[in-house]
A and B are shown apart, each in its own frame.
Chain A
Amino acid sequence: MNAMTKEWIEVGAVDDVPVRGARRVHTQAGEIAVFKCADGSLFALRNRCPHKGGPLSEGIVHGHGVTCPLHNWVIDLSTGEATGADKGCTPQIPLKVEDGRIFLDGAAIAKLAA
């Protein structure tokens, strides 16, 4: 089971992601959205709104949140949880930055496929 050791997968440069915007990463386990907020912080979530599966990467990013383009649910990027009165959660993918490059947690991506 030593394969469980964390494997970080490089997906691109920090500068590839526009501020207050998102980019998509295609994986076998479905799409992942990488967000960059106005303060420069980065987050990665599965690119599916917990409501009706809307592509969160296409939403408007504000504060540490994103508004889903399909029905305006607001998802907290730091937890993946729906905010306000809506209930639901989309899985978060741990992310790290080294030398201006973005890495995603491979084990967490593998878990999405499960």
Chain B
Amino acid sequence: MGKQKLVIIGNGMAPGRALEKLFEAAPGENGGTSAFDVTVFNAEPRVNYDRIMLSPVLAGEKTFDDIVIHGDGWYIKNNVTLYKGHKITEIDRTKKTVTSDTGVTEGYDKLIIATGSSPFIIPVPGHDMAGVVSYRDLDDVHAMMLAAKKGGRAVVIGGGLLGLEAAAGLQMQGMEVTVLHIMPHLMERQLDPAAGYLLQRSLEARGIRVHCKANTKAIEGEGRVSGVRLDDDTLYPADIVVMAVGIRPNAGLGKLAGLEVNRGIVVTPDMKTSDADIYALGECAEASGQVFGLVAPLYEQAGVVAKNLLGGSAEFHPSATATKLKVTGCDLYSAGDFGEAKDREEIVLRDPTRGVYRRLVLKDNAILGAVMYGDVSDGPWFFDMIKRGTDISEMRETLIFGQGYQGGASADPMAAVAALPDDAEICGCNGVCKGTISKKITELGLTSLDDVRAHTKASASCGSCTGLVEQVIKLTLGDAYQANAIQPMCTCTDLGHDDVRRLIKAKSLKSIPAVMQELGWKTSCGCAKCRPALNYYLIADWPGEYEDDGKSRFINERVHANIQKDGTYSVVPRMWGGMTSPAELRAIADVAEKFNIPAVKCTGGQRIDLLGVKKEDLPAVWADLNAAGMVSGAAYAKGLRTVKTCVGTDWCRFGTQDSTGLGIKLEKFLWGSWTPAKLKLAVSGCPRNCAEATCKDIGVICVDSGYDIHFAGAAGLDIHGTILLGHADSEEEAIEIIGALTQAYREQGRYLERIYKWQRRVGTETIRAAVIEDRANRKALFDRFVFSQKFAQIDPWAERVAGKDAHEFAPMAELAPMQAAE
């Protein structure tokens, strides 16, 4: 028997997901599916993209390419015939054919109608004028972005999910935005009045004007919009008007074909229309008397359609849905049903100072609905209990505070992760959920965090979810997985960092090939993980003896500048203690103009960053900066970066010591040193701490009696205040302690381990004993540091201006215009 023909009208997210499910369940030999020949008609001239992400595109946070779900290649690979820009105008149910507006006719055995929905346009006078747009597809987003380029004023009609995302996006694009909403509070379908109020307040704080109970009378203008008038005669001037008042299902084609149509095309729970060979899917379908606009139920429908196409008997039953607003800085979450009724109870938590609001609606000891504003971290937990109808009578007293306050959960750290449903998102950067991780672990037999990262991308971007991912691995593998077992440096060896380092010393290994040979490396010349680590260990352990291996350094440390996403570099000259002068600034300005450097920016460490320098220009840029007395700021180094200072007793009426002077001395003492990871310092002249020394790797707070030395702060992926290590009575003592501390970190820190992580591993007491209490040891550490600095304090820029590594910067050849074959 030949394959059946499946035709799909519409190419949105729901049919895209249905096809994925179909290809997964009945894969064909060469991609696609063995069950059907698939043809898709798309009225939009595009491939399938993620409509949910249009808001980040509008806000300029993502591009269209970022949100494509299925590129052209996907259709080819899966043997799907895709007609782009073809609108189906007719379905002939007797002949079983569809016909497009361009005259293409295709026969079908099974048909899926997935025509989606259209934005609802309020038929007020002026609604069809130029400058009135809806918010539905990429064309609308482009129209809005174009309008926003000219700046000016935007009015958004509709304060629901889409309207608010449009408003925030337009504001990010630089427009002055007003939101008009007909109901008494924003997002009334998802929020109760209290949360709506908090949302309005936070939008207003961002500069978006909100007018509720606003009834639009007319859109005014001559040929082009100039404003929106309300029925109380208020006039809001506008250069663009966005209508985002709702959607309505595109059921016209179904009606034309004689299918049963109500608000949408009516389907039974198996997603079939009144014609058993025709399915309706997505926003155009009406199931159990409801139409749907959020992605979760639509994806559920897609799964049902795919199963039933293959002869299954799946059913779609609407369940609770959850909503999040994708506006940066507005955290709100709502799930389930939170209307009031006689037989329902509620629990409310308010914290006005923090702007936190939580409300749970309960019935018969189960949660029906949840609304959260401000702190939404427990959203998925509540949502899971709503879906499961969990009996909450046992934890009712602490329920509102969230999962962290439930007795059992805090005792067993794994319980929280174990309780998460499979579709709970673990990695926000890469959108990986728990089920995907555990499935891949089982399918592919993964056993380590690295494997899981490689195959799922979970925790592969910012890494802040690493702990969660490890817990999922542990839950899936049980005791077979030991997170705390010694992690090998990389796949080239079974030895951990500490072992390798100890053996380098014990066996007097003084080159990378010697390390690899003696310690039995499994690869011929290592990899991009172990080579930079070995290079650091050797340079730190054998100062003056080991010759730096540039080819084992990351590009930034090889060319002494920071690579940017387009392959250009950024250059940061050193400014000792953050001090500069008119002559230096003039030289920087001259360099920026001479080399057409597109961006000049201040860094967080009190330096000036020249961004977008071409690689070929680097030596000449450095030559000019050197000529003005400036050296490399090492903004690229796993080494000393910056010493930030305040103005201290030189200028400040509160200053207790010369913080600027000490900062300069420290920077001149420490510059050029390589450390396991970057090292940032700051010196504040008094406890008011204007130099923000208490979140640095090493910080000094000047006090009347001398200098408090702090360390192990963090202000990046992790945030930690520093720990007070000790006190120095004089500048000399402060410098000795800091030198000794740096050297201890250099000797014990694992490559890429920041000082706060080293502190956590080794313990503050051990470090304090070594660099504060044991004076002889402190002096010995200090002397070793001073010795190694003799070989480190050479300006890398000057070396390269003088000709070192010239091959790095010039291309090997410039080929003349194409001389090859035609």
Contact = CB atoms under 8 A, between A and B. Distances in A.
B555 A26 contact: no
**Chain B interface mostly:** loop
Interface residues of A, number: 48
Interface residues of B, number: 33
Contacts of A63: 523-525, 527
A38 interface: yes
B551 A19 contact: yes
Given A5-B821, A60-B552, A55 B813 contact: no
B821 A106 contact: yes
B815 interface: yes
A3 B563 contact: no
A107 B558 CA distance: 33
A17 B523 contact: no
Interface in A1-46: 3-5, 7, 9-12, 16-21, 23-29, 31, 34, 38-39
Interface string B562-573: 010101000000
B525 A69 contact: no
A16 B812 CA distance: 7
A113 B818 contact: yes
A62 B523 CA distance: 9
B124 to A, nearest CB: 46
Interface in B511-569: 523-528, 531-532, 551-556, 558-559, 563, 565, 567
Nearest to B526: A62
Contacts, number: 113
A57 B398 CA distance: 58
A65 B552 CA distance: 14
B594 interface: no
Nearest to A69: B555
Given A28-B818, A110-B820, A11 B813 contact: yes
Contacts of B817: 28
A23 B818 CA distance: 20
Contacts of A27: 815, 818
B524 A28 contact: no
A67 interface: yes
Contact of A9 (B523, B553, B815): B815
Contacts of A5: 821
A92 B308 CA distance: 45
A27 B525 CA distance: 31
Contacts of A3: 821-822
B812 A12 contact: yes
Interface string A59-74: 1111101010110101
B222 interface: no
B614 to A, nearest CB: 12
B583 interface: no
Contact of B565 (A52, A84, A106): A52
Contacts of B329: none
Contact of B454 (A54, A85, A109, A110): A85
Contacts of A31: 811
Nearest to B452: A85
Contacts of A74: 527-528
B814 interface: yes
A24 B820 contact: no
B818 A16 contact: no
B78 to A, nearest CB: 15
Given A18-B807, A25-B811, A106 B819 contact: yes
Contacts of A76: none
B3 interface: no
A13 B130 CA distance: 63
A58 B811 contact: no
24 contacts: A7-B821, A9-B815, A18-B807, A21-B551, A21-B807, A25-B812, A26-B811, A28-B817, A52-B565, A54-B565, A58-B555, A58-B563, A59-B555, A60-B531, A62-B528, A63-B527, A67-B527, A74-B527, A84-B454, A86-B454, A106-B820, A107-B821, A109-B818, A110-B821
Counting from the closest, the 5 A-B pairs by CB-CB distance are A106-B820, A67-B528, A23-B812, A85-B454, A11-B813
